[in-house]
Structure 1
Amino acid sequence: MWLRWISLSSAALLLQACALPTTTETIPLPFQALGNEPGWSVVISPDHQATITLDYGEQQLDLLLPPAQVTYAGTHYRAEYQDQPFALDIIFNTCSDTMSDTSYPYETRLEILGKQYQGCGRPAP
C-alpha cells in the first residue's frame, strides 16, 4: 500500500513538472527576422504590418499580419498570401548566423509563396 501511494504521488509530481507553462512571452515590436542563402528578412511594425524582403531584395511584399498565436515555444503567425500558406514562427531559442557568427535571441522560420526559409530574429534596430 505504501509503495502504491509513493508511485501515485511521484506520477502527480511528474505530470506537474511536464505541464506547459501558463504564461507566455511576447516578441518586442518592431521585430526583425532575417536569414541567408538566399538573403531574406521580415520587419514587423508595432501595428503588425510585415515588410517581407526575399531573394536578396529582388522581391518586396507587404502583409498585414493576423493576431499572433503565442505559445510556450514562441510567437506564430498564420495567414494566406496570394492564395498560398504564409507562416512565420518566432521561437524563443538563441540562434547564430552562420555567415557573420552573430548571435540572436530568437530562431525564425518563414514560409511564403511555396518556399521555406530559416534564420534568426531580434528587436528591429
Structure 2
Amino acid sequence: MRSACLALTLGLAACGQQPDVVPTQSAAAEAKPVATGSAQVAMPEKPFQALGTEPFWAVEVLPGQLRYSDPENIAGTAFAATESREGSGLRYSGMLNGQPISLMVQPGTCSDGMSDTVYPWTAVLTKDGHRLQGCARKR
C-alpha cells in the first residue's frame, strides 16, 4: 500500500499536480488529506483587506491596527489590534466600540459569492457575537 501511495505521489508530481493525500511513515497509519494549491500560499503582508458579503463588511489590516468598515460606516473605524499565529493562519484581535472583535485569516482559495474573483485567503470575522465568513486579498 505504501509503495502504491508513493508511486501515485510521484506520478502526480511528474504531471505537475499535487496529490490529495500525503503518505505516512507507518503503513498502518491512515493517509492525511492536505489542501491542494493552498499549502504553498504565504500569508499576506500588510496592508491587506478581508471582506464579506451579506452583510457587507471589510477589514483593512495594517501594522498594529485594523480598520473596520461597513455600509453604515464607509470611512471605517481604526483600532489597535494584536496578531497571533494559529495553525496555518493568523488571528487579529482588538476592541471596537468597547466590544471584542477578531479576524482569522488562513490560506485557501475563496469566492465572495457575488463576483468571479478568486481570493487566495479565507477570512472569518467575529463581531458582536456573530461569525461572518469572507475572503482576503493583498491590497
Above 0.5 in TM-score? yes
Higher strand share: 2
User: Structure 2: 5+ residue runs without aligned partners?
Assistant: 1-24, 34-41
Q: TM-score, normalised by structure 1?
A: 0.69
1:109–1:118 Cα contact (<8 Å) kept: yes
The yes-or-no answer on 1:112 pairing with 2:127 is yes
Q: What corresponds to 1:39 in structure 2?
A: 56
Q: Confirm or deny: 8 A CA contact 2:80 2:94 kept in the other structure.
A: no
Paired amino acid for 2:132: Y
Percent identity between matched residues is 34
* Greater fraction helix: 1
Q: How many residues align?
A: 104
Taking CA–CA contacts closer than 8 Å with sequence separation of 6 or more, which of the two structures ends up with the larger relative contact order?
1
User: What is the distance in 1 between the residues matched to 2:69 and 2:54?
Assistant: 13
User: Residue in 1 aligned with 2:96?
Assistant: 81
AA in 2 matched with 1:78: S
Which contiguous aligned blocks of 4+ residues in structure 1 show a shift greater than 4 angstroms? Answer: none
Q: Superposition RMSD on alpha carbons, in Å?
A: 2.5
Calculate the TM-score normalised by the size of structure 2: 0.63
The residue type equivalent to 1:101 in the other structure is D
Query: Structure 1: which 5+ residue stretches go unaligned?
Result: 1-8, 19-24
Q: Is the 8 A contact 1:50 1:65 kept in 2?
A: yes
Contact 2:91 2:103 (8 Å CA) reproduced:
yes
Tell me by how many angstroms 1:14 deviates. Answer: 4.7
Q: Is the 8 A contact 2:92 2:103 kept in 1?
A: yes
